[in-house]
Structure 1
Amino acid sequence: MIDLHSHLLPNIDDGSKSIRASLRMAHEAVEDGIEAALMTPHHMNGHYMNHKADVIRLTQEFQAHLDKEKIPLQVFPSQEVRINGGLIDALDNDDILFADEDNRYLLLEFPDDDVPTYSDDMIFNIMQRGISVQIAHPERNLKIMAQPDILFNLIEKGAIAQVTASSYVGTFGKKVEKFSEAIVAHNLAHVFVSDAHDLPNREYEMRQAFHKLGTNLGKQYQQMFEKNAEAILDGNNVEKLIPEMIVKRRFFNGF
C-alpha cells in the first residue's frame, strides 16, 4: 500500500516529536501493509512553516535512519498546504511540494471548521496551472459536514479527495464515520490515507479501512482506491466515478 498523507518527520509540526517516535511509527506503517509514504508536514497553516528545501532534506535524513534500522519503508517529501492568501506566491516562488515529481498533485487543507469564501477562485486558479488539488480530510471539516454540496461542487470541478482511514473505521466517532461512508458511497473520495500522527487515535488503520471498503462496496472499489494512490504518487490520472450529491437529510438519518 501507498500512504499519501502522514506526519512522521520529527519535531516540525504536530506529528512525531522525536526520531524514536518516527521510527516506531514507521514500524507500525510497515506492519499495516504500507511500503511507501509521503511525508506531508503542515505548511503555511498559521502555526507551522515547513519550506520545500527543509522538507526534502529532512526526508532524506529520515530515509537514512530507516535504512540503517532496516525498516522497509520508502519515504518521499511533500507537504500538507493550508489554503491561504499567500499560496499562489508560494507556488510562484517554488516553495511548494507535490505528491509526485511532475508537480501535478497538491495536497490542500482547509481550516477544521471552515471553507474560506475565496476557495473556489483559488482552486480554479491553481487548477488552471495544470495542478490537481487533493482535498485533505473533508470528512472532518465542520463546514463540509454541514454543507456536503461544497465537496460535491469541488469534486465536480475536478478536485479529488482523500479520506482518512481512521475516519472511515470509526476512530473519530460515529458521526465522522457515517459521513466518511457517505462521501465514499457517493463517489466523492478517491484514496484512503493514514494522516498518522504520534497522538492518541492517530494511528495506522489502512488495512482495516480497505477491508471495510471491500466489504461495503466490493473488491473493485477497493482496488480502485489502491491504484489511485499509486497513480497520484507517479503523477498519472486517477480513476474517478461520477460524483453524486449527498442529501443531508438522508445522511443524518444514517441512510
Structure 2
Amino acid sequence: MIDIHSHLLPGVDDGSPSIAASLPVLERFVRDGVTTLVCTPHLDASRVRTAPALAYRAILDELRAAAPAGIALEPGWEIMLDVPGADLRAPELGLAGSNAVLVEFPRTGIPPNSAEELFRLRMSGIVPVLAHPERYFGCTVEQVTAWRRAGAVTQLDVQALLGRGRTSQVALALLRAGVIDLFSSDNHGDVRSLAMGRDWLHEHATAEHVDLLTNENARRLLAGEPIVPVPPLPRRRRPRRGIGGRIKDLIFGSRRKPTRE
C-alpha cells in the first residue's frame, strides 16, 4: 500500500512530536503492508516562497535513518489554500518529487470559486490532490464532482469510514457516487492506518476498490501517470430471509413496524 498523506515528520507541525514517537507508527505501517509513505507537514499557500524545505529534508533524512526496513519515506507538503492564485509549481512542493501537490481548503469552509482555483492549479502544470473533501462543511457529491472535473484528484481520510456522524455519512455518499480516487491515513502520530481503510473495503467493496484506493492510484499519481476511475461503491443488500424466518412470520406475525399511510 502507498500512503500519500501523513504527519510523521517529527516536531514540525501538529503531528508526531519526535522520532521516538514516529518509529512505532512506522513499524506498525510495515506490518500493515505500507511500502511507501509521503510525509506531508502543513504549509500555507501564502508562505510557499519561504517554505523550510532544506531544514525539513534534513529531518526527513534523520527519520529515514532510524526507520524500519521495508518502508520508503518520501517528502511532500499539505498546502492550505489560504490565498487564491498561489504558485505551487516549485519541484520541492510535489509529493515524492512528482507534479502532484496535496492541498486542502481552510477550516473556515469551502472558499468561493473553489473549482476555478483547482482548475487554475491544474492548468499551471500540477495535479492538485484535494485532501479529505468529506470534512468540509457543506460538501456534496455535486461539489466534489465539480472539483474532479476541474482536474483535482480526491483523497479520503480512512478515519471517516469508522464513525457514524456527518463526516462519515458524507464519506459514504462520495464513495457510492464514485468520486473518491484514493485513501490515506492522515496519521498524526496516532493509531490511524491505511490498513483500516483496506479492511473496511474488504467488508464493503470489491478487490478492485481495495487495489485502486489503497495502492494503484497512489502509485500512478507519484509516477505521473493518469489515475484509474474508481467504480461507485456497491450498496449493501439486505440478506434475504430464509424459509424458516418466513414461517415464523406467518405463525407469530412479522415484527416489522407498520408503515405510515
Structure 2: segments with no counterpart, 5+ residues? 234-261
Write the distance in 1 (CA, Å) between the matches of 2:231 and 2:153.
12
Report the count of equivalent residues: 231
Kindly provide the amino acid, as one letter, of the partner of residue 31 in structure 2: E
Kindly provide the amino acid, as one letter, of the partner of residue 208 in structure 1: M
Residue 125 of structure 2 corresponds to residue 130 of structure 1: yes
The residue aligned with 2:94 is 98
Residue 183 of structure 2 corresponds to residue 227 of structure 1: no
The residue aligned with 1:250 is none
The residue aligned with 1:78 is 76
Q: What is the percentage of aligned positions where both structures have the same residue? A: 26
Residue 74 of structure 2 corresponds to residue 37 of structure 1: no
Write the distance in 2 (CA, Å) between the matches of 1:218 and 1:203.
25
Write the distance in 2 (CA, Å) between the matches of 1:95 and 1:143.
33
Kindly provide the amino acid, as one letter, of the partner of residue 234 in structure 1: A
Q: Is the 8 A contact 1:139 1:180 kept in 2?
A: yes
Q: Is the 8 A contact 1:113 1:143 kept in 2?
A: no
Structure 1: segments with no counterpart, 5+ residues? 245-255
Secondary structure at 1:143's aligned position in 2?
coil
Q: Is the 8 A contact 1:29 1:204 kept in 2?
A: no
Q: Is the 8 A contact 1:26 1:71 kept in 2?
A: no
Write the distance in 1 (CA, Å) between the matches of 2:84 and 2:62.
29
Structure 1 residues 77, 100: closer, same or farther in 2, change over 3 A? closer
Q: Is the 8 A contact 2:91 2:99 kept in 1?
A: no
Structure 1 residues 148, 7: closer, same or farther in 2, change over 3 A? same
CA-atom RMSD, angstroms?
A: 2.6
Structure 1 residues 54, 149: closer, same or farther in 2, change over 3 A? farther
TM-score, normalization: structure 1? 0.81
Q: Is the 8 A contact 1:132 1:159 kept in 2?
A: yes
Write the distance in 1 (CA, Å) between the matches of 2:174 and 2:158.
13
Kindly provide the amino acid, as one letter, of the partner of residue 131 in structure 1: I
Structure 1 residues 182, 215: closer, same or farther in 2, change over 3 A? same
Write the distance in 2 (CA, Å) between the matches of 1:187 and 1:122.
22
Higher Rg of the two aligned structures: 2
